[in-house]
Chain A
Amino acid sequence: MQSWIPFLPESASTLSGRVDALYFYLSGVTLFFTILISGVLIFFVIKYRRRSPFEIPRPIAGSHKLETLWSIIPFLIAMSFFVWGTRVYFAQYRVPKDGIEVYVVAKQWMWKFQHSTGQREINELHVPVGRKVKLIMATEDVIHDLFVPAFRIKADVVPGKYVTEWFEATKPGRYHLFCAEYCGMNHSGMGGWVIVMEPTDFDNWLSGNANQQSASSAGQQLYQSMGCASCHGANAEGGRGPALQGVFNSQTQLNNGQVVKADENYLRESIINPQAKIVSGFGPIMPSFQGQVTEEQLLQLTAYVRSLSAISRPATNAAPPATAAPVATPQR
């Protein structure tokens, strides 16, 4: 930090500049009005101070013109904040399709990261500069919140579902990682560092930690050991349950006629609460796995199902997914 009192945190993501720009606009406008109001207030208080205990000023009833004016002008200014803020917000929470994926499991009081290539870290996250990074997050206990001030991103990790958050770092360095949602005794200790590296350094780092099992292959083992294969097929080709190959991110027809996108949250729900959305053509026969799999194992199972899509549809990846993706309804 250069100055004695810093006024801005480091700016190290593609979003942080956009958030700062809005922050400066807000600060400028509100400072102007705060100074204007205080100035007028102080001016009046001095100029019209009581000079004799007997003076009674002439009453002024009010003015509809003025009231309209000072309702509409603040409203218009507020709308400019609204539009700008919402646009950047959509950029913050609209997760891009491409990019590196990292699975995150939060628990009291640590952050566990697993790269899609298998590397695991605790309270430290290594990422390359200039690449989009997508965090797929789950919590094993209470609500946590992954906050990186330098990237201007923050999202609550709510139990019972996956939350995704993304960023693209713009300069190498070590940046604070905080838990921003109060989570119990050691809340303030639940933090660490995001380490942004040059792509080559990052590749070196990856290969230096390569001897760990990837999430999807761990998921594959779980798939076999938990008996998923007995209904979904030894290679997830389908059986009493729907095939899982090519399911991920496809449009899936349900037995109530609805079509849903089979994203991470859908896969998670289908394991935890299988009755909620049943694929058309299948019966409600799958038992719930709630309480039998940890959040980490769920992420691994999800990763496995995702990896099946990558294998089965290498060619369709280039085509627009919405039209090219097959409706995953195996016929019986």
Chain B
Amino acid sequence: MTESHIATEHAAGHPALQHHFENMEQQREAGTLGMWVFLVTEIMFFGGMFLAYMLFRSAYPGAFVAGSNHLDINLGAINTGVLIVSSLTMALAVYSTQVGQRGMAVVFLIATMVLGLTFLGIKSVEYRDKYRDSLVPGRLIPGRPFHPAVQEHGAPNDPHKLHLPEGESVKHVELFYWIYFALTGVHALHMIIGIGLLSFMLYFSLRGRYSPEYHAPIEISGLYWHFVDIVWIFLFPLLYLLGRHLEHGG
């Protein structure tokens, strides 16, 4: 970075340049690096729960399979698709802003938000099912403790009942569901924050604040959105899929 370079940039003085930065390039670099560092802390935040998942999964494999099998794999798979598409629309929103197509950017931002809301909607349907089957662990919901009906041997198959292999402890299924709710709950919270972030981006895009010269906030929000998607890409197989494979394969 040479002196003359600084001087010219300062002279240019983009209106979005904050007073303590020398130039737009520095401001964008700082913002992007800041988001990356933040995402690293997020990985560590989820890391503690993933560790707990791994430990108890190996301690109580049978109960975890039973718990996993009771999750609705169709809704989970649809949600995975929804999030992957939302990552695409997010990337397109960033691209459109970069090339100056503000109208397209707005459309893609709205699409991303709608997809995010769809995800949350489907997730809440899943949560409602768990509530109906009394699968919410502990006293998280007062008056509705964890008390699933267990499928009896030889009785007609009832999807609302927990298929618990003989001798498995319901307590350990409860542990699975606590980890399920903790992981997906924190993930959903991140989705909500992401949608909030995007609504700001939408507002400022509509006001024409972003341009090919200045679009760092959208890029940075995009980083965050992709991160939240990637977390789900890990959650889906760990919570929904692995158990099925074990049950049918083993």
Chain A residue at minimum C-beta to C-beta distance from B63: A275
**A321 is an interface residue with CB less than 8 A from chain B:** no
Main secondary structure, interface of B, reads loop
For A275-300 the 0/1 string (1 means CB < 8 A from B) is 11000000111111010000000000
A275-B62, A276-B59 given; A285·B166 CB < 8 A:
yes
**B208 is an interface residue with CB less than 8 A from chain A:** no
**B165 is an interface residue with CB less than 8 A from chain A:** yes
Cβ B171 vs Cβ A275 within 8 A: no
Within the complex, the shortest CB–CB distance from A176 to chain B, in Å, comes to 37
**B168 is an interface residue with CB less than 8 A from chain A:** yes
Cβ A290 vs Cβ B171 within 8 A: yes
For B40-66 the 0/1 string (1 means CB < 8 A from A) is 000000000000000000011011000
Cβ B167 vs Cβ A284 within 8 A: yes
Within the complex, the shortest CB–CB distance from A247 to chain B, in Å, comes to 19
**B169 is an interface residue with CB less than 8 A from chain A:** yes
Chain B residue at minimum C-beta to C-beta distance from A278: B167
Contacts of B171 on A, CB cut-off 8 Å? 288, 290
For B153-187 the 0/1 string (1 means CB < 8 A from A) is 00000000000011111010000000000000000
A275-B62, A276-B59 given; A284·B166 CB < 8 A:
yes
Contacts of A287 on B, CB cut-off 8 Å? 167
Main secondary structure, interface of A, reads loop
Within the complex, the shortest CB–CB distance from B168 to chain A, in Å, comes to 6
Cβ B166 vs Cβ A273 within 8 A: no
Within the complex, the shortest CB–CB distance from B218 to chain A, in Å, comes to 47
Partner of B168, one of A283, A284, A290: A284
Within the complex, the shortest CB–CB distance from B174 to chain A, in Å, comes to 13
- A-B interface contact total, Cβ < 8 Å: 26
What's the Cα separation between A275 and B169 when bound, in Å?
8
**A246 is an interface residue with CB less than 8 A from chain B:** no
Within the complex, the shortest CB–CB distance from A276 to chain B, in Å, comes to 7
A275-B62, A276-B59 given; A290·B167 CB < 8 A:
no
Cβ B165 vs Cβ A273 within 8 A: no
**Which of chain A's residues 239-296 have a Cβ closer than 8 Å to chain B?**
273-276, 283-288, 290
What's the Cα separation between A290 and B171 when bound, in Å?
10
Most central of A275, A283, A286 by chain B CB within 10 Å: A275
Contacts of A290 on B, CB cut-off 8 Å? 169, 171
Cβ A275 vs Cβ B59 within 8 A: no
Cβ A274 vs Cβ B167 within 8 A: yes
What's the Cα separation between A274 and B59 when bound, in Å?
12
**Which of chain B's residues 49-87 have a Cβ closer than 8 Å to chain A?**
59-60, 62-63
Contacts of B165 on A, CB cut-off 8 Å? 284
Within the complex, the shortest CB–CB distance from A94 to chain B, in Å, comes to 25
What's the Cα separation between A307 and B169 when bound, in Å?
29
- Residues of B with Cβ closer than 8 Å to A? 59-60, 62-63, 165-169, 171
Given contacts A287-B167, A290-B169, 18 further A-B contacts (CB under 8 A): A273-B60, A273-B169, A274-B167, A275-B60, A275-B62, A275-B167, A276-B59, A276-B60, A283-B167, A284-B62, A284-B167, A284-B168, A285-B166, A285-B167, A286-B167, A288-B169, A288-B171, A290-B171
Would you list 19 pairs from A and B whose C-beta atoms are within 8 A, ordered by A residue? A273-B60, A273-B169, A274-B167, A275-B60, A275-B62, A275-B63, A275-B168, A276-B60, A283-B167, A284-B62, A284-B165, A284-B166, A284-B168, A285-B166, A285-B167, A286-B167, A287-B167, A288-B171, A290-B171
A-B pairs with the 7 shortest C-beta distances? A284-B167, A275-B167, A288-B169, A284-B166, A275-B168, A285-B167, A275-B62
